[in-house]
Amino acid sequence: MAKQKKFVEAITAMDVDFAQWYTDIVKKAELVDYSSVRGCMIIRPYGYAIWENIQKTLDQKFKETGHENVYMPMFIPEGLLQKEKDHVEGFAPEVAWVTHGGTEELAERLCVRPTSETLFCDHYAKIIQSYNDLPKKYNQWCSVVRWEKTTRPFLRTTEFLWQEGHTAHATAEESEKETIDMLNVYADFCENVLAIPVVKGQKTEKEKFAGAKATYTIESLMHDGKALQSGTSHNFGDNFAKAFEIQYTDKNSQLQYVHQTSWGMTTRIIGAIIMVHGDDSGLKLPPKIAPTQVIIVPIAQHKEGVIEKAQELKARISKIARVGMDISDKMPGWKFNEYEMKGIPVRLEVGPKDIENNQVVLVRRDTREKLVVSMDDLETAIPKLLEDIHNAMYEHAKNHREEKTYTATTLDEFKEIADNKPGFIKAMWCGDKACEEKLKEVIGVTSRCIPFEQEKLSDKCICCGKEAKHMVYWGKAY
């Protein structure tokens, strides 16, 4: 029992030190380890299995919407990166450079990709000639490198995994539709797979992607009241097309520039899963992406027939869910704590008395509720329970977000909320960058998005008092 006590005590309570709680979980749940390269993480098998399930689900959604996977080089020649001025200025502070090949100094520096717009543009300029070549709807799964000053596993690392979609279209209308469609794919994925509610909206000019005409985002709220940008979709218009001379001949034999988009979601979404759903006992994984959805823990497994029955149940459940079984010699209590830490949605307990009564005990990770279920009903009970857990986790997260979403109509009220009530703050804004910068400098918040669902909270800008143009979600963010 000493081992069990030590195991529980190893997690810092989230209300005592949220940052340490997060670090404890990613380490203790064996999601990541620190590497010998500053700011880079080793994603361990359990963490990578979560990413694989995310990847598998998103990849299917991308293919269903007509996208194809490709792979671009990880190196970008400096001259190519320089072609789009705003783009290179936006990424310059984070770029890692290769200057030597072996002992030879390179004639031209190579950038380790922070993102791949320039590579896709260079390729599109070669392969797009006619309207018959459009649209081009490509996606790639890869890693990128951004030289971050401060790092934290999943949330901000020097190298991270992601997908980046890059598409080219004949018209501005088509590229705008693609941008919004893909944002909706991300929102649907977060809500219906990860059980994370999101706010959809547009980034301000100050916060938009370097080189984009418009950036759209989904914003989620963590347990500690900080926001996390969880996925973005960018409409480039013809900005990059003009810089890279990507033209096509239209139906009237006239040369036109293509209109482009890009969109991405990264391993930071695993950080969101941890911080939206986790508790002081560890992870709570949404059932649809949990590597193991049901863990079988035999009770009094030394007794005749218990392990055999557990194995029989595992074979049955494997047809309807991702199932594991622990027949190690650790105490059941230790196992319970371990699988709570790992966030496995359902624990199935079966012992001699259960076998005698033709039943099992199912324990929910999200509420710890225990359910006694007949062995005959498992094929219907388990899928229903997993669905119930997903819905309950979503509602819990949504209620938490609503409780931590505040409205301010005066600057004093805004500051009081920002100082004392972590969360989203809804307030009106005139659209002036100076006001946005002042709120960041004086109060320490950034604009998260201009939500698609607008509300008129007042006629005046929260900062300068002039006529307001938009209602904006503000907050402190990761």
Distance of CA 433 to the CA centre of its chain: 28
Assigned domain for 11 exists: no
Residues in the chain: 478
Give the chain's domain count: 3
CATH code at position 378: 3.40.50.800
Assigned domain for 98 exists: yes
Concatenate the DSSP letters of all residues of 146-183 into one string. ---SS-BTTTB-SEEEEEEEEEEESSHHHHHHHHHHHH
Q: If phi over 0 gives left and psi between -120 and 50 gives alpha, with beta otherwise, what is residue 10?
A: alpha
Res 4: pLDDT? 44
Read off the pLDDT of residues 107-159 as tens digits, 9 standing for 90 and up. 999 999 999 999 999 999 999 999 999 999 999 999 999 998 888 999 999 99
Do both 380 and 409 map to the same domain? no
Q: Is 268 exposed, middle or buried (0-12, 13-18, 19+ CB in 10 A)?
A: buried
Phi, psi of 29 (to 5 degrees): -80, 5
Res 1: pLDDT? 40
CA distance 173 to 347: 50
What average pLDDT does the structure give for the chain? 95
Do both 112 and 251 map to the same domain? yes
Tokens of residue 136, six digits: 């081009």
Assigned domain for 397 exists: no
Do both 60 and 203 map to the same domain? yes
The residue among 359, 388, 417 that closes a domain is: 388
Do both 242 and 377 map to the same domain? no
Nearest to residue 373, comparing CAs of 349, 405, 391, 352? 349
Assigned domain for 7 exists: no
Res 9: pLDDT? 53
Do both 159 and 264 map to the same domain? yes
CATH code at position 158: 3.30.930.10
CATH code at position 443: 3.30.110.30
Do both 375 and 445 map to the same domain? no
Rounded to the nearest 10°, the torsion over CA 34, 92, 179, 183 is 30
Assigned domain for 380 exists: yes
**CA 384 vs CA 4, 164, 368, 379, 381: distances in Å:** 31, 34, 16, 9, 5
**102 lies in which domain range?**
18-277
Assigned domain for 359 exists: yes
Cβ atoms of 199 and 172 within 8 Å: the answer is: no
* Cβ neighbours for 333, distance < 8 A, ≥ 6 positions apart: 1, 4
Do both 268 and 298 map to the same domain? no
Do both 145 and 66 map to the same domain? yes
Element at 77 (helix H, strand E): strand 75-77
CA distance 186 to 231: 7
Do both 302 and 410 map to the same domain? no
Regions of the chain with pLDDT less than 70: 1-9, 84-85, 88
Nearest to residue 246, comparing CAs of 10, 95, 83? 83
Assigned domain for 228 exists: yes
Tokens of residue 121, six digits: 């543009």
* Cβ neighbours for 472, distance < 8 A, ≥ 6 positions apart: 204, 426, 427, 428, 429, 447, 448, 449, 450, 451
Do both 73 and 185 map to the same domain? yes
Do both 208 and 323 map to the same domain? no
